[in-house]
Amino acid sequence: MRGPDSYQEGRPSWVDLATNDLSAAQEFYSGLFGWDYEEVPGGGYYYATSGGHVVAGVAQGQNPQFPPMWTTYLAVESADAAADRVRAAGGAVVVEPMTVGPAGRMAYFTDPQGASFGVWQGDEHLGAAVINEPNAFTWAELYAADVDGVAAFYNSAFGLGAQAQDFGPDAAPYTVFTAGDWGCGGIMAPPAEDVPNHWHVYFGSADADAAAAKAAESGGAVLAGPLNSRVGRMATVRDPQGATFSVITLTEWP
């Protein structure tokens, strides 16, 4: 489905990859999702496109000490005001608000439990132009050891609500972030002891099993699944450079 004309405050609106081997990463994701790339003026940053629509960003990481990773960005009306609210709520500003040409304004933060994320104040670039379909950004999930505590932070800093879900006695506890009436992300405890608190990205796939197999054949690794959930079939994957993400085939596409 086409992305909204504007993203509500606090809703995940953009994701991008910082990697240590840009050309290899582009080749991997092109093979997996069929993405093409458009270089953003200024160099070093590329829009990944699916069907001619911008769906994600890919760039060479600027700090070799940071491992390759996908970053989730929350939409804001003002990156500067968001920075003030993050500090007041107990988070930390990692990169102060900065203008990115005519595209918009951004900043990087960590929440009180150490998960890093960005904010995006869109101008010419509002965020993902296509969402919730195969080969496009579909869901963002926050792994946090203290779900109630981190939900309170995102409510204070971004006005997000949090609704606990009842998926039955055998399911792990799960909470959904809400922006108004829109369920816009999830919160759950890390799925394993060695998984740190972080934001995790899901991309849609027409066939999660085939996508997981393709990722493994292309030098990546399947970390979990494919498995069925209440919303669809999914697998967690690590790309050849080490960035993790999930693919999901939704039971019902919006």
Q: What is the DSSP string of the chain?
A: -BPPSSPPTTSEEEEEEEES-HHHHHHHHHHHH--EEEEPTTSSEEEEEETTEEEEEEEE-S-TTSPPEEEEEEE-S-HHHHHHHHHHTT-EEEEEEEEETTTEEEEEEE-TTS-EEEEEEESS--S-SB-SSBTSEEEEEEE-S-HHHHHHHHHHHH--EEEEE---TTSPPEEEEEETTEEEEEEE--SSTTPPSEEEEEEE-S-HHHHHHHHHHTT-EEEEEEEE-SSEEEEEEE-TTS-EEEEEEESS--
Please report which confidence band the pLDDT of residue 181 belongs to, taking 50, 70 and 90 as the band edges: confident
Question: How many C-beta atoms lie closer than 10 Å to residue 157's C-beta?
Answer: 25
Q: Do residues 226 and 4 make contact, with C-beta atoms less than 8 angstroms apart?
A: no
Give the least confident one: 60-74, 92-106, 167-181: 167-181
Q: Do domains 12-122 and 137-250 have the same CATH topology?
A: yes
Give me the chain's average pLDDT, please.
94
pLDDT given for residue 3 in this prediction: 58
pLDDT given for residue 248 in this prediction: 98
Architecture of domain 12-122 in this structure: Roll (3.10)
Q: What distance, in Å, lies between the first and last C-alpha atoms of the chain? A: 7
pLDDT given for residue 1 in this prediction: 58
pLDDT given for residue 254 in this prediction: 76
Architecture of domain 137-250 in this structure: Roll (3.10)
pLDDT digit string, tens, across residues 9-64:
999 999 999 999 999 999 999 999 999 999 998 778 999 999 999 999 999 987 77
- Rounded to an integer, the average pLDDT of 65-86 is 96
How do the domains of the chain map onto residue ranges?
12-122, 137-250
Which has the higher per-residue pLDDT, 170 or 240? Answer: 240
Q: Do residues 68 and 25 make contact, with C-beta atoms less than 8 angstroms apart?
A: yes
pLDDT given for residue 96 in this prediction: 97
Q: Do residues 72 and 7 make contact, with C-beta atoms less than 8 angstroms apart?
A: no
209 alpha-carbon distance from chain centroid: 21
pTM, 2 dp: 0.96
pLDDT given for residue 105 in this prediction: 97
Structure tokens at 192: 């394993």
pLDDT given for residue 10 in this prediction: 95
Give the least confident one: 3-12, 66-75, 103-112, 222-231: 3-12
pLDDT digit string, tens, across residues 114-144:
999 999 999 999 999 999 999 999 999 999 9
